[in-house]
Each structure stands twice: as structure tokens, then as C-alpha cells.
Amino acid sequence: MADWQWVTRVHRAIYSATGGRIGGNLMGIPMVMMHTIGARSGERRSIPVACYPHPEGLLVLASNNGGPKMPAWWHNMRAHPEFDIQFKRESRRVRAEEISEDERLKYWDEMAEINPRVVHYWHTAQSEYNRRIPVILLRTIR
């Protein structure tokens, strides 16, 4: 198991066990716990993901740390775009929608200021893997 997978498991456990009191930030980056539904299994899958403010919810990037493949949650989200999230101590129901390139550019500087690694992820995914990183709005529906 890769080192980052252990970090994700521990982070998910702490975030869940504390009801979001601990784990809502990781190294100064806001985190959302997404509770997606498995595309094939239909089972609930929970994953902490870096997030960024948006007037209608939160933005997340399907970066997979700039790796060659989309993250598993991306496939789950596409199959079942409505799901629950926990942002710090607040639970919400959201609908996931990919934003346009124009809108991504509108928020890009803010995302990069919060998490400078997104610039590296974006460049690596495009230059090394010819992969586009979708930016998704988790639009609050209740």
C-alpha cells in the first residue's frame, strides 16, 4: 500500500471519529469528506478530498495528485452525482457538476493560493499523462 493510502485511511478515520472536529484541514488545506456511492458496488464510499470555496458550495479537483488515472471517487460521482458530504462539522447533500473552463479560470488563483500543489498536479497530469483534471462544483442542495 502506498504511503498516501495510509494517510488517507488515518485521515478518514479521524475525521469520521471526531465528527469533523479534527481533519477538516490537512496542512492548512480545507478538506471535505465525500460520501459517494460506489459506481459498481452501490456501497457508500467515504474519502477526504481537498476543497475550495465557491458561492454555491465547494470545488474539488479530480487530480489524483497529478497521476495518470482519475480518482475512484470521480467514477462514483459520475454514476451517482447526488451524495452527502461533511465539511468540518456540517453535513450537506450536494449535486456534483463539472464546471466550465471559464469558471475554472475564475477560481484558479484562489485554489492555487490555498493549495499551491494544484499547479504541479495540473501540469503533471497534462504534460506527463495527457490527462485533463476536471474541477467539480459540489453544489449544495440541502
- Domain assignments of the chain as residue spans, ordered by start: 3-140
- The number of angstroms, rounded, from the C-alpha of 131 to the middle of its chain's C-alpha atoms is 17
| CATH code that applies to domain 3-140 | 2.30.110.10
Report pLDDT digits (tens) over 47-105.
999 999 999 999 999 999 999 999 999 999 999 999 999 998 899 999 999 999 999 99
Count of C-beta atoms within a 10 Å radius of residue 81: 17
Which residues sit opposite 61 in a β-bridge? Answer: 135
Report pLDDT digits (tens) over 39-53.
999 999 999 999 999
Full-model pTM: 0.90
